[in-house]
Homo-oligomer: A and B are copies of this chain.
C-alpha cells in the first residue's frame, strides 16, 4: 500500500510520544524516519521502526536524555549522548558541527554513546543543503570478518559524504563498508535471486553470490577485499579514539547494537576562502557523467543523484510500504 509522508510523520511521532518522548523530540525523530522512508531507504525508515520500539522497551534507547558536552574547543565538541534516540542526537550533532563550521571554517562534533542513527546520509545532507561539505561516519557492532579471517571483528561502519552542487542538489555518498547488507541478502534470498556480484565467502571459504551461503557462514565481504577491511578499522579507530566512546569491540559485547561512536565533520568552503564550490562540484560531476555507458548499464549517475527524484515522487504519490509492517505499527497507536 502507499502511504503519505505526513501520515508517516504522524504515525512515528505518535508512537514515540506514547513511549514517553516529548512532543518536540518525537516530531523531530518522526520526520527523520519519514524522510528516510520517502527517500526510498525503508530499511532505515519504517522497516526499522519496530526494532527501535523494541530497543526502547528493552531500555537500550533512553527517553528524555540530554547530551552532555564533555569537551569543547571553538570548532570541536565531544558529546556524551547518554544512549538517547540515535537520529535525534546525530541531527543535533551535525547541526552543531554546521554552526561551528560557519563560524570557523571547519566544525567537528564527536558523539559517544549515541544509538543507531538510521540513515547517515540524512545528516551529511543537512550540511550540503546549506552549501557546506558534510562528512560523517558511525561504528557498528562487529558484523564482518577482517581480511584473512572467518569470525566477525569489523563493523560495516557507514561513511557518508555530502557535497553541495550548483543546481541545489547534493552529491551524497552513503555507504556501508560491507559490499552488501544482511538486509539485502535476505531480500534477494526471499526473491530466490543471487547477488549481482560476490558478496562474501561460503563456509568452505569460496567467494559466493548466493545470499543464504553468506548468511550461513557470516563471512560478509568488505568492499575491495583487504582494502575495505583496512578502511573499516580506520573508521572505527578514529571514531572511538576521538569520541572517547565505544569501539566495535565493546559494542559487540552488548546484547543490542547500542552506544555507538559517531563523527560529524563539516567544511564551509566560503569561510575557507572558496567562492565557487558548487560550480566546481557541478563541473566535476558533469565530467563523470560524460563517460560512455557500458553495455548492460543504463547510464552513469553519481551517488545521491536519483534519490531526490525518488523522494519527490514519493512525496507526491505516497510511498509504497510493506502492508504488514505499516498495519502492525498502526495497531500500536
Contact = CB atoms under 8 A, between A and B. Distances in A.
Given A145-B291, A241-B280, A242-B267, 16 more contacts: A73-B105, A76-B105, A76-B106, A146-B300, A149-B291, A151-B292, A159-B231, A163-B238, A179-B224, A205-B294, A205-B296, A219-B294, A223-B225, A224-B228, A240-B284, A244-B273
A228 B148 CA distance: 21
Nearest to A204: B295
Interface string A195-232: 00100010011010000000000010011110110110
Contact of A225 (B70, B197, B248): B197
Contact of A300 (B149, B269, B274, B291): B149
A330 interface: no
A133 interface: yes
B272 A78 contact: yes
6 contacts: A76-B272, A106-B106, A133-B238, A146-B291, A173-B231, A240-B280
Interface residues of A, number: 84
A153 to B, nearest CB: 4
A291 B281 CA distance: 41
Contacts of A76: 105-106, 272
How many chain copies does the complex carry?
A: 2
A247 interface: yes
Interface string A129-172: 00001000000000001111111111000010101000000010
Interface of A: 70-71, 73, 75-76, 78, 104-106, 108, 110, 133, 145-154, 159, 161, 163, 171, 173, 175, 179, 197, 201, 204-205, 207, 219, 222-225, 227-228, 230-231, 233-234, 236-238, 240-242, 244, 247-249, 267, 269, 271-274, 277, 280-281, 283-285, 287-303
Contact of A288 (B153, B241, B269, B295): B153
Task: List 4 tightest A-B contacts by C-beta distance, closest first.
Answer: A223-B224, A149-B291, A148-B297, A71-B273
Contacts of A271: 73
A287 B163 contact: no
A242 B219 CA distance: 38
Nearest to A70: B273
A73 B104 contact: yes
A271 B70 CA distance: 14
Contacts of A147: 297, 300
Contact of A233 (B73, B149, B236, B302): B302
A163 B269 contact: no
B149 A293 contact: yes
